[in-house]
Amino acid sequence: MTAVNTAKFSLITIAVGAVVMAFAHWVNVDYLYFASYTILQFIVLATAWNILGGYCGYVNFGSAAFFAMGAYSSVFMHKFYQVPIPVLIVIGAAVSGLAGLGMGYLTLRLRGSFFAIATLALAVVLQTLVVNWDFVGGSRGAYIIRPETLEFAGLTINYIEYLFFLMLSLAVLALITARTIERSQLGFGFATIRDDELAAEASGVPTLRVKLIATTISGAFMGMAGAPFPYYIGYLQPSSAFGLEYAVNSIAMPMIGGTTSWIGPLVGAILLGSAQQYATVTISSAVNLLIVGLMLVGFVIIAPNGIVGLVQERLRKWRQP
């Protein structure tokens, strides 16, 4: 790998983000904003999942729960005291990050599979709580009227463009965070846990603390991805916030892209995300989820290192014939 340090990487990522934003503003089609928002949201979710799953080797099945916590903390604030969306994102991050920390503290001291099982059950229980909580809409769901435009510094901004911009910034932030962690001491700590937790513990890596940091960061990003969601969708009901597609996609995307570096979830999210946008319009949404599931099973069996792994292997063979 060529040496690109963190500062350079951040600048490049921000520049790419700015180009995407400028391009989207130039095209300026509402449908494009809506479709790309979903893909960006999946980039954030997949990257967040990978910080715990890919770097540490701990599987989180409850992505939907963390996502929904972010979304429902926004609904709560909408009814309680209205604040701008960037503040909601911070609140969503805090709520989901704390939930991640708590879950991790209770289950990460045990064998790895217990954490996975607990996250799986977490989604069911949180959904039960939300269905029974009338303040945030209960099982009927909650309406959030999205304004058409936003006034900011004398400018009138198309609201969906504003949401798109926020999610794009989150995606950039998530990628920079993931890549920074990868190259830092913390990232090496994560990798030792993934490879051999016992050996890591024996060599003095504070494994529990490192794992808790991972669950907190990962949960926080999922909450951030969920926070603007009620404004995007306009009508939030438990079954859409806790939708299975979030849990499945945030696992399938890194697994199909490749889990060992930041680029895997990005590739997976862009490929699967755009394919699903296309398939939802042309075929049915159930069929497209089936395809994602089959691809997940196929990739974990045949290509354990995902698309990135396949490309790396090809490059190596090409360089050394």
Among 3, 145, 155, 286, binds another protein (CB under 8 A): 286
What pairing do the DSSP bridges indicate for beta strands 155-158 and 142-143? unpaired
Query: What is the closest distance, in whole angstroms, from the C-beta atom of residue 91 to another protein in the complex?
Result: 24
Minimum CB separation from another protein for residue 76, in Å?
A: 19
Q: Is 244 in the site for another protein (CB under 8 A)?
A: yes
**Minimum gap (Å) between residue 58 Cβ and another protein:** 8
Residue 283 is a binding residue for another protein (CB under 8 A): no
Helix residue ranges, H only, the chain: 6-27, 30-56, 63-80, 85-107, 112-131, 159-183, 185-195, 197-202, 207-226, 229-233, 238-241, 244-257, 263-282, 285-302, 306-319
- From the number of C-beta atoms within 10 Å of its C-beta (0-12, 13-18, 19+), residue 279 rates as middle
Of residues 31 and 114, the one with the C-beta less far from another protein: 114
Instruction: Report if residue 140 touches another protein, rule: CB under 8 A.
Output: no
Of positions 73, 259, 261, 276, contacts another protein by CB under 8 A? 259
Q: Could you give the CA distance from residue 311 to residue 250 in angstroms, rounded to a whole number?
A: 22
Query: Quick check: 241 and 144 in contact, CB under 8 A?
Result: no
> Is residue 294 within the footprint of another protein (CB under 8 A)?
yes
Closest to another protein by CB, 5 vs 282, is: 282
- 107 near another protein, rule: CB under 8 A: yes
Residue 24 zone, left/alpha/beta (φ > 0; ψ -120 to 50; rest): alpha
User: Under rule CB under 8 A, how many of the chain's residues touch another protein?
Assistant: 42
Give yes or no for a contact between 306 and 261, defined as CB atoms under 8 angstroms apart.
no
| Distance from C-alpha of 264 to C-alpha of 273, rounded to nearest angstrom | 13
Binding of residue 59 to another protein (CB under 8 A)? yes
Closer of 71 and 126 to another protein (Cβ): 126
Q: Which of 24, 131, 270, 279 binds another protein (CB under 8 A)?
A: 131
- Report the residue from 15, 19, 22, 106 that binds another protein according to the rule CB under 8 A: 106
Q: Is residue 180 within 8 Å of residue 47, measured between CB atoms?
A: no
Q: Which residues lie near another protein (CB under 8 A)? A: 53, 57, 59, 61, 106-107, 110, 112-114, 116-118, 120-122, 124-125, 127-129, 131-132, 194, 244, 248, 251-252, 255, 259, 286-287, 289-290, 292-294, 296-297, 300-301, 304
